[in-house]
Amino acid sequence: MIKVYTTPTCIYCHALMEWLEQQSIEYQEIDASTMSDITAVPVTEINGERIVGFDRPAIKKALDKTNASNTTDAN
């Protein structure tokens, strides 16, 4: 599961979540305002890798890596 750390007032967080929904990518939204180790938002966590900001290329790369790993594991 992809985790997205957000705050209620972050416009980039909302843009990221909207983009994920358009891509039919499931995610879990987590309120980052109570977490001391998250100092900027949005943060997308994919298989333990954290991507800071709404960085589409980095998110796609991490998702591709995850999908490739899942395909290999299934064989």
* Residues 40 and 47: beta-carbon distance below 8 Å: no
Ranges of H-type helices in the chain: 11-22, 56-74
> What type of residue is 69?
S
Q: Judge whether residue 20 has pLDDT over 70.
A: yes
State the pLDDT at residue 72: 57
Nearest residue to 41 (alpha-carbon basis) of 4, 2, 74: 4
The model's confidence at residue 41, banded by pLDDT at 50, 70 and 90, is very high
Q: What is the spatial distance between Cα 5 and Cα 31, in angstroms, rounded to a whole number?
A: 6
Give the domain range for residue 40: 2-74
Q: What is the DSSP letter of 40?
A: S
> What's the pLDDT band for 34 if we cut at 50, 70, 90?
confident
Q: What is the pLDDT of residue 61?
A: 95
CATH number of the domain encompassing residue 63 = 3.40.30.10
